[in-house]
Amino acid sequence: MIRTFLGIAALLAAPAFAATAPSLQGATVGETVAAMKPGDFLWAPQVAPEGPVVIVVSIAQQRAYAYRNGVPIGISTVSTGKKGHETPTGVFTLLQKNVDHKSNLYNNAPMPYMQRLTWDGIALHAGNLPGYPASHGCVRLPMGFAKLLYGVTKLGLTVIVTAGADVPRFAPSPAVLSNTASKAESDLFGGSLWQPERSTTGPVSIVISSADKRMLVLRNGVPIGSAPVKIAGEVTGTTAYTLGAIEGDNYRWMKLPMPGEALNAPVEVTPDERARLTVPEDIRVAMAAVVAPGTTVVVTPDTLQTGGAGKKMTVMTAGK
């Protein structure tokens, strides 16, 4: 039954091109991301296989976050613009893609897996990551992450570059820049909410936070539901699940492999595991109308509130 969703927590997975994959077991995602070394990244597209993609770059953190269907599927170390060549902040549209691009401004320098943000030379691309801002304004990415990210993006998607360290934990969009952003987040964390009319179609993802004791339901990257939940036992790492099948009243959830786990393939969640999670009855009934095979659940020990402190993301006006 949906009441027994159980944990869901996988914000990201093993970097397929890194020698040593950061682990999400025994630590929060925030702790794992803070400890990442230059060139490290996390990649777990299985936690949200469909939905719109949004990218957020934090200059203060020197990190990039890729979200699909409102759920983080990748986090990477980056190198942004050095002094005198600072990366502009603001909301950008992905304008052009080229696997084997060469710089028109800097001696034909290679820019593998280039994804253009401005027509005057700012782009995401693979490059050297020394651990601090060192580029001429572009956002450098590890080669492996650049290739993976290139594979999930499309022209026209939104890229948000912020000077600050606070970033959304879910569903980033330019709406976080509006005056109603704080109220919108407080609505999601102030009780139960069910508004499927916010997004009537698209893939469904569910994120559960043991820190907040809260579940968020997203459809096509838009929050449509929120409710307090009870989780029996401790959540020590991030885990992810997908709904394999619905057989009458039986919802067959499969646990997905995550970084640091000794799990090579999905395994079915047991009734005891499902029983760890308790969802309010009215929300449980409502969710039955929107979940389907392929719905994913992420369970995390991290808070879902922006920046871990309930602050809205700080994004400055786009520079020229």
User: Distance between CA 79 and CA 141 in Å, rounded?
Assistant: 7
What pTM does this model have? 0.80
Of the candidates 15, 288, 274, which has an alpha carbon nearest to the alpha carbon of residue 148? Answer: 15
Three-state DSSP class for 229?
Answer: coil
User: Distance between CA 241 and CA 230 in Å, rounded?
Assistant: 18
pLDDT of 287 over the 50 cut? yes
Q: Can you give the pLDDT at residue 21?
A: 63
User: Distance between CA 109 and CA 228 in Å, rounded?
Assistant: 51
Phi and psi at residue 87, to the nearest 5°: -65, 125
Q: State the average pLDDT over residues 164-191.
A: 66
Q: Which of 22-36, 212-226, 276-290 has the lowest mean pLDDT?
A: 22-36
Give the pLDDT band of residue 74 (cuts 50, 70, 90): very high
Give the pLDDT band of residue 311 (cuts 50, 70, 90): very low
Phi and psi at residue 308, to the nearest 5°: 75, 5
Q: Name the amino acid, one letter, at 248.
A: G
Q: Can you give the pLDDT at residue 14?
A: 36
User: Distance between CA 225 and CA 204 in Å, rounded?
Assistant: 11
pLDDT of 149 over the 90 cut? yes
User: Considering 85, 101, 125, 136, which one is annotated as catalytic?
Assistant: 125
User: Distance between CA 151 and CA 154 in Å, rounded?
Assistant: 9
pLDDT of 178 over the 60 cut? no
User: Distance between CA 168 and CA 181 in Å, rounded?
Assistant: 11
300, 11 in Cβ contact below 8 A? yes
First vs last C-alpha separation in the chain: 53
Percent of the chain's residues with pLDDT above 70: 80
Say how many residues make up the chain: 320
Q: What is the dihedral of CA 312, 42, 159, 138, to 10 degrees?
A: 120
Work out the mean pLDDT of the chain and round it to a whole number.
Answer: 82
User: Distance between CA 214 and CA 191 in Å, rounded?
Assistant: 9
Three-state DSSP class for 281?
Answer: helix
Phi and psi at residue 147, to the nearest 5°: -70, -45
> How confident is the model over 233-250, as pLDDT tens digits?
888 888 899 999 998 888
What are 68's two structure tokens? 């699909």
Q: State the average pLDDT over residues 257-261.
A: 70
pLDDT of 261 over the 90 cut? no
Q: Can you give the pLDDT at residue 110?
A: 82
269 or 168, higher pLDDT: 269
Q: State the average pLDDT over residues 147-151.
A: 97
Give the pLDDT band of residue 156 (cuts 50, 70, 90): very high
Residue 292, Cβ neighbours under 10 Å: how many?
11
User: Distance between CA 272 and CA 144 in Å, rounded?
Assistant: 38
Three-state DSSP class for 225?
Answer: strand
Q: Can you give the pLDDT at residue 248?
A: 85
> Can you list the domains of the chain with their CATH numbers?
2-8+181-306 (2.40.440), 29-176 (2.40.440.10)
The contacts of residue 252 (CB under 8 Å, 6+ apart) are 243, 244, 245, 246, 268
Q: Can you give the pLDDT at residue 305?
A: 78
Q: What value, to the nearest 5°, has the Cα angle with vertex 41 and ends 262 and 267?
A: 25
297, 44 in Cβ contact below 8 A? no
Beta bridge partners of 74: 43, 66
Phi and psi at residue 25, to the nearest 5°: -95, 135
User: Distance between CA 170 and CA 189 in Å, rounded?
Assistant: 13
Q: Can you give the pLDDT at residue 164?
A: 82
Residue 136 designated active-site: no
186 or 10, higher pLDDT: 186
66, 52 in Cβ contact below 8 A? no
Phi and psi at residue 124, to the nearest 5°: -90, 135
Q: State the average pLDDT over residues 200-204.
A: 94
